[in-house]
Amino acid sequence: LAKTTQPISMDSYEGQEVNITCSHNNIATNDYITWYQQFPSQGPRFIIQGYKTKVTNEVASLFIPADRKSSTLSLPRVSLSDTAVYYCLVVLGNYGQNFVFGPGTRLSVLP
């Protein structure tokens, strides 16, 4: 049975770099891996999306190894406002897409 896993929680201090890894098997060959941020009582907010190797935007980087069985979201120099739950979203199965969110990682940024 296809499954996506993430660490349940992580703590960090302001100004540090945070790396959150999502492990996923049976990922669809031609589809993207996407990461979202969610605050309480809000819908998930798009952070970054990638297909392979490395992608960087103004807020994060995403590292995807060649086998695509995992992906790592990197948040440089986190601040208190980055305290949130972070989810990976993958497409599982090449025949009929099934969007699967990871269980989420609760990141707490401490002063």
Q: Using CB under 8 A, list all residues that contact another protein.
A: 28, 30-32, 34, 36, 41-46, 49, 87, 89, 91, 96-104
Least distance in Å: CB of 45 to another protein?
7
Least distance in Å: CB of 30 to another protein?
8
Q: Are 36 and 22 in contact (CB under 8 A)?
A: no
Taking the C-alpha atoms of residue 3 and residue 100, their distance in angstroms, rounded to an integer, is 8
For 6-32, letters b (16+ CB in 10 Å) and e give bbeeeebeeeeebebbbebeebbeebb
Question: 30 or 81: whose CB is closer to another protein?
Answer: 30
Question: 54 or 111: whose CB is closer to another protein?
Answer: 54
Question: 95 or 111: whose CB is closer to another protein?
Answer: 95
Taking the C-alpha atoms of residue 111 and residue 100, their distance in angstroms, rounded to an integer, is 33
- The structure tokens 């406002």 sit at 81
Least distance in Å: CB of 73 to another protein?
15
Q: Residue 90: which of 39, 45, 51 has the closest Cα? A: 51
Least distance in Å: CB of 77 to another protein?
24
Question: 29 or 81: whose CB is closer to another protein?
Answer: 29
